[in-house]
Amino acid sequence: MRKVYGARREALLEALAGAFPGQVEVRGAAADIHLAASFPGEAFTPTWLGRLRQAGVSVNSVSAHTLGDPKAYLDIVLLGYGNHDERRVQEGVRRLQIALAAG
Q: Would you list the domain boundaries of the chain? A: 2-102
Please say whether the beta carbons of 54 and 46 come within 8 A.
no
- DSSP three-state, residue 33: coil
Give the CA count within 13 Å in the CB-facing half-sphere of 93: 25
Average pLDDT, the chain: 92
Between 54 and 2, the more confident residue is: 54
Give the C-alpha separation, 4 to 68, whole Å.
Answer: 34
Share of the chain above pLDDT 90, in %: 78
pTM listed for this prediction: 0.90
Please say whether the beta carbons of 8 and 85 come within 8 A.
yes
Give pLDDT, residue 29.
73
What confidence tens digit (pLDDT) does each residue in 11-60 have? 999 999 999 999 999 988 776 789 999 999 999 999 999 999 999 999 99
**pLDDT tier at 2 (50, 70, 90 boundaries)?**
confident
Give pLDDT, residue 87.
96
| Mean pLDDT calculated for residue range 3-15 | 93
Domain 2-102 has CATH 1.10.10.10: no
